[in-house]
Chains A and B, each alone.
Chain A
């Protein structure tokens, strides 16, 4: 006879066991449900405590980013401005190599008359001009002409107003961008375009973005590596010098933070330019011929030098805070076991500082790929980053869709790199102190 057979129901309840195997609380409800209920209050309270920050992040960070990303595919403007034309174009086959019929031109007249009244036709012109040059002028001039247009037939009147309406390519572009969402910006962002023959790479002399993405990546890596090379010994000193000296040194490290970015970058200009301080010094010492001064600025060298300087503290600080936690007894232990200075550093100290390297490298790399002020000022043509183009499309060309697409690709590249980093180093192996 086993003990469970002899147990009374009360005893079973008290023990928290039932025949069905579910563990129950004293009042018979399943223990899991009880526990969940007891914890719910706790969870609710925690949630309430973080909710202001959550709300703030959603409103000020996630939503704007989401909105921006949406712009990279959003294309409702064609449908909103030319609703009937879009409908009529459903019947049209671009492959027929014939212009759309009179009904489509009539729809164009109807839509444009309303659009002109609302002054939104030029806006559509600017939008389509990103895809093909000339649309901006086409819509501006047609907007003026359409007011004076008489009753149909419209086809001839439009072609008379602007001969582009008689070109097949105009209608192909309109047709391929009539959908409310488009891959056009993303294609553009990887130097491709949608043509009658499908997606194709752009002409050689119009490609720019892929090259810029690659350059942004490798230069950011170079900057990260330079920061590590220069920052590691400094962080080591900071972590191991007596407090008074290291505080002094720390002030020197933080000093750049107290001067404006523009001032620092401009200072580099003065130092690095052809007639600048460094070249003058080299010529004076005789390392460099006066006629053959080094080109240190307005190229990749300039960007790497200036950005390494600007981002150095972001490498030094995480390294320092990790090194600070590495007890000097590890190196002593290694030496006591017969390891020389280099072995005890490389086999014992360095591996323990890797989390700091990871944190610093990620920080510097992420900051570097997003930088645009410094590359714009000292990068010339070969030292600029993709962010410079994003800034250009945001503030000058107003092509926010393309800017959003470029930004989205950059974001994906960074996430991809994070993934690779996680696979190689392990994201747990990153420590800020």
Chain B
């Protein structure tokens, strides 16, 4: 993951408060490697954007230090940090043409005309907008504006690019397309990217690592697959992907497996991720695609489920059922030709392995 072009960033015990009473960011420690694509993911108000603004220099840290390539930057004003930035609404200057927008960072750096023109053309070609240099931002579509914003953030070859929900204003299809394009640009250029979003799909698709924020704290910092497969706590499990929760108490803890007595009396086996003692309250987290309806083999857990509702989605069928007192229990059933037909009202067996059931802290 290391290369020499991208910058490294270190947050060292950073705290931020706006009013002197509440901490928006509580003791943030984060190392971002050279050339890494790191996403800060979290609900609004979780502190992720504040972290980004501190890194960009628009908000001072109340406590702690931020290092860029090993140098403390708390006292460096934003325009001297050399960080590229893409804003939520692109912030393209409406009174300048696309080319003038791209020329802006080069001009303030005093770059010669020939070189700057070459760079602008290269940047525009990179985002496939070579012919749009003379247009005004208002004459471009949302997706085109977004690309210009990306090109403008990259045209002066920064080592670090910050992106603040850059795809938030686009429709779904365009957003997905742009995710790949940004990812490709990152792979090609090797710059470090810190990306802020509240959209978990975006985070999972693009990132090398994802930092999940909640309540001013990083809940988990992991590569996307780890985040999804092995959430550290019930917030992360809940926030990333779809998730079924079964509340209960630990009755026995063994090596790599524990026994949980659910609130309706059902006994299930689970992976003790975040429980430590017998008697702890827990929330067992289960991904919908890891559950089998009427399994052929014999999984670690097998319970009755009453089908409440079925939604046909083509590649799979989404089944809502009542399991162990939870009637929001979702199961994704693969659309297989040979599968036995089921319908709403049926009571069927559902099963899953203990390793897929994560016994986490109690969900709030």
Contact = CB atoms under 8 A, between A and B. Distances in A.
A340 interface: yes
Contact of A333 (B77, B85, B95): B85
A351 B95 contact: yes
Contacts of B108: 337-340, 343
Interface residues of B, number: 27
From B57, B58, B77, B88, residue with most partner A Cβ within 10 Å? B58
B79 A332 contact: no
Contact of B58 (A332, A337, A347): A332
Mostly, the A contact residues are: helix
A334 B104 contact: yes
Given A332-B87, A347-B104, A338 B93 contact: no
A329 interface: yes
Contact of A330 (B56, B78, B91): B91
Interface string B107-135: 01100000000000000000000000000
Given A343-B108, A347-B104, A338 B91 contact: no
B84 interface: yes
A345 to B, nearest CB: 12
Given A338-B108, A339-B79, A347-B104, A333 B94 contact: no
A327 B108 CA distance: 21
A152 B118 CA distance: 101
Measured as residues with beta carbon below 8 angstroms from the partner, the interface class of chain A is 10 to 19
A337 B108 CA distance: 8
Contact of A336 (B79, B88, B95): B79
A352 interface: yes
A341 B105 CA distance: 14
Interface string B289-301: 0000000000000
B91 A335 contact: no
B329 interface: no
A348 interface: yes
B105 A327 contact: no
A338 B79 contact: yes
A336 B84 contact: yes
Interface of B: 56-58, 77-85, 87-89, 91, 93-95, 104-105, 108-109, 152-153, 156, 162
Interface of A: 327, 329-330, 332-341, 343-344, 347-348, 351-352
Given A339-B104, A340-B77, A351-B93, 16 more contacts: A327-B89, A329-B89, A329-B91, A332-B58, A332-B87, A334-B104, A335-B78, A335-B79, A336-B85, A337-B152, A337-B153, A338-B108, A339-B79, A340-B79, A344-B79, A351-B95
